[in-house]
Structure 1
């Protein structure tokens, strides 16, 4: 059954490519290694940042008009079963995933918490600190120079970048090993099709008659 639309797959893979670009170039700018050179790495880092900001504007608009933002509302229901599965169940091929994915609830409780942390904590810190760093020459006009130093902003931005790296590694790890078969999640995000549990409360479920809007 089609679960992830073309736009969802487009922004997922585009966001992944841009985030990887920003991490690779950002850590080089920070002096972790030398590959592209400081100037080129900084240039590509800025380009990727602006492209990602533009992408997120479209993504936020799409989530707002489609109602898909509800997919990320956190819940504690069933979270311990999912945690147990991720810690021990993924090692046993005979243990099924405890979460039953539906069209109205594509993400399990642990995924929702992870995406909430990504969207509410990690991303805002990265963007605010990154934009402050990028527009450092304009600090005098805004009155920021003095109370805040460039070193403070750089430290916060680097810490947020490491948090993003941890999220990224965890996301890739679970995508690669939590699915059964192991390529299930990757296949779903490439093709859009995945197995779903049909929620009896979903009026839009396949085979269900739409509600009568005339009476």
Structure 2
């Protein structure tokens, strides 16, 4: 095993700030829905709007960072070892089987993670953002008789925004659980806090891949 610097400073800042903003948006959003009382309705609306602007700004910076650094390639989906990865998470890791993929600075995500995170960026986040903006500026669109937008019932937009919020919360809950599936239950969290993780060296990786292939052959038989 060797200690590798795998998560850059902005990557860690973006990750934790995004998580904090999503949680805060969830709290204020559910208060707006009258699920509980914490800040008060008017304050909850104001805080929710401010947090949404901050999240939009963070997303804009993260998109710029991903494309200028080439980190967007981490999210390119592949079906290679996808089946093995699903098997590992659902059955294999509970039997002590070897992980089918090896993490590295150039390959931080396994095939399943890449596919799920891409779905988060292209489906879940856009649903929440677009529906939130439409809901926030609905009166403006309606007053200006904006084509199509003004014809969408407000309750449909609110429903779509709530659906997106639940999808995001589900994603975060699963994401938090998956952080416990590293070499130790806290190794992935420590890695995202410090940027450093303990990864296998090349010889260990080769041995690991051979072990994974043997496990896969046994499972097929």
Residue segments in structure 2 that go unaligned for 5+ positions in a row = 204-221
Q: Provide the TM-score with structure 1 as the length reference.
A: 0.86
Residue segments in structure 1 that go unaligned for 5+ positions in a row = 201-215
- Label 1:129 to 1:100 Cα distance change in 2 as closer, same or farther (>3 A): same
Q: Distance in 1 between matches of 2:196 and 2:49?
A: 35
Q: Is the 8 A contact 2:74 2:106 kept in 1?
A: yes
Query: Which structure exhibits the higher relative contact order, with contacts defined as CA atoms closer than 8 Å and separated by 6 or more residues?
Result: 2
Deviations 1:110-157 (A, max 9, x none): 101110110010111111100011112211212446521111100110
* CA-CA distance at 1:95 after TM superposition: 3.1
Aligned residues, how many?
Answer: 198
Deviations 1:65-113 (A, max 9, x none): 1111000000111112211121123334x43322111221110011011
Q: Is the 8 A contact 1:22 1:48 kept in 2?
A: yes
Q: Distance in 2 between matches of 1:99 and 1:131?
A: 39
Deviates more, 1:23-32 or 1:122-131: 23-32
Aligned-residue Cα RMSD (Å) equals 1.7
- Label 1:39 to 1:144 Cα distance change in 2 as closer, same or farther (>3 A): farther
Q: Distance in 2 between matches of 1:15 and 1:199?
A: 33
2:36 is matched with which residue?
33
Q: Is the 8 A contact 2:30 2:36 kept in 1?
A: yes
Q: Which secondary structure state, in structure 2, belongs to the residue aligned with residue 12 of structure 1?
A: helix
Q: Distance in 2 between matches of 1:60 and 1:33?
A: 34
* CA-CA distance at 1:199 after TM superposition: 7.3
2:6 is the counterpart of 1:3: yes
2:183 is matched with which residue?
180
* CA-CA distance at 1:196 after TM superposition: 3.6
* CA-CA distance at 1:38 after TM superposition: 1.3
Deviations 1:159-208 (A, max 9, x none): 111111111110011113x12211111011011111345679xxxxxxxx
Q: Provide the TM-score with structure 2 as the length reference.
A: 0.84
Match of 1:153 among 143, 153, 157: 157
Q: Distance in 1 between matches of 2:28 and 2:66?
A: 29
